[in-house]
Amino acid sequence: MQRLHDTETRGFASDNYAGIHPETLEAIAAANGGHQIAYGEDHYTARLSEVVREHFGDAAETFPVFNGTGANVTALTALMPRWGAVIATGTAHIHTDEAGAPERVHGLKLLTVPTPDGKLTPELIETEAWGWGDEHRAQPLAVSITQTTELGTRYTVDEVRAIAELAHAKGMALHMDGARIWNAAAALDVPFREFTTEAGVDILSLGGTKNGLLGVEAIVALDPSRAPGLVYLRKLGMQLGSKMRFMSAQLLSLFDDGLGLRSAAHANAMAARLRGALEAGLADGTISGLGFSQATEANAVFAVLDNAVADRIRERVRFYDWDRAAGEVRWMTSWDTTEADIDAFVAVIREELAR
């Protein structure tokens, strides 16, 4: 087939824009050929289950799915009955970017909490953790946190543990949306189980697409007793892949030879390089008219600048507005962002700010 795009084009809109990692493509090819039993009864899915248990704990059960929305909605549905509600931040992906799927597909009620940095705290959860036994109120039965958050921040191990302790004390389960969990693991520099299973997370949406995979994530039930019926809900939610060996092979590639952590650490480093270069310009006075609205703790840089300047920069390098009224934009780096990409982008930002 004829190539239809310029492979030299780079942007900072989303880590979803990046292609498939070459090592993942090799894993897909390796899984090809011959016949394997469909719907997850294949060697690759069996091996994935073993590897996930090695990283997250012996009780973990793994369910590959097609996308993050499917992982989040199916995982949360497994945690509660129809009358349950989920406490999440106002910026949570399940609230802002999933087109009402939690509510419309599985009838989940979301109880959202405003937060300046995209992170829940026990104190913030308390504002919505009430009303049990009141037939007029959806019952708070789960808490959902995102790691790393939609604002590019991350939870520490202690912060996750404090949330889990509160949730469990009040009879709620804890879900982690790990769309960028590899970036969090690379930044925290601790094993996965330390900030998930051992910290009290009950169920996890394990990301892959944002870290070099082709359309696959997984639900990992860290405490399967809290999420019964996942084997049925995955099919009910249209997330059961027939040729699952190719889904599992991709996820396996991230665990193989540290590919997932290497890729995420590189993306994080590129975000740090971008922010560092711009901060250096602000410090020496060669850049003005630019600020930052969030800490850069993984692979996202949230900046504030005049909308007209942002529009000019965007004509040359693609990225998204986050809050146009506030002049806030989001710049994302990915596994294939290069130092040259960063330096070229910084040069464009400098030129347009100076106009």
pTM, 2 dp: 0.97
Residue type, 246: F
Domains and CATH numbers, the chain: 21-258 (3.40.640.10), 260-354 (3.90.1150.10)
User: Where are the extended beta strands (E) located within 188-228?
Assistant: 203-206, 217-221
Number of H helices, E strands in the chain: 14, 11
User: Which residue in 198, 210, 217 sits closest to 335, CA to CA?
Assistant: 210
Contacts of 183 (CB under 8 A, 6+ apart): 148, 154, 211, 264, 267, 268, 298, 299
Q: What is the pLDDT along the chain (355 residues), one digit of tens a residue?
A: 999 999 888 899 999 999 999 999 999 999 999 999 999 999 999 999 999 999 999 999 999 999 999 999 999 999 999 999 999 999 999 999 999 999 998 899 999 999 999 999 999 999 999 999 999 999 999 999 999 999 999 999 999 999 999 999 999 999 999 999 999 999 999 999 999 999 999 999 999 999 999 999 999 999 999 999 999 999 999 999 999 999 999 999 999 999 999 999 999 999 999 999 999 999 999 999 999 999 999 999 999 999 999 999 999 999 999 999 999 999 999 999 999 999 999 999 999 999 8
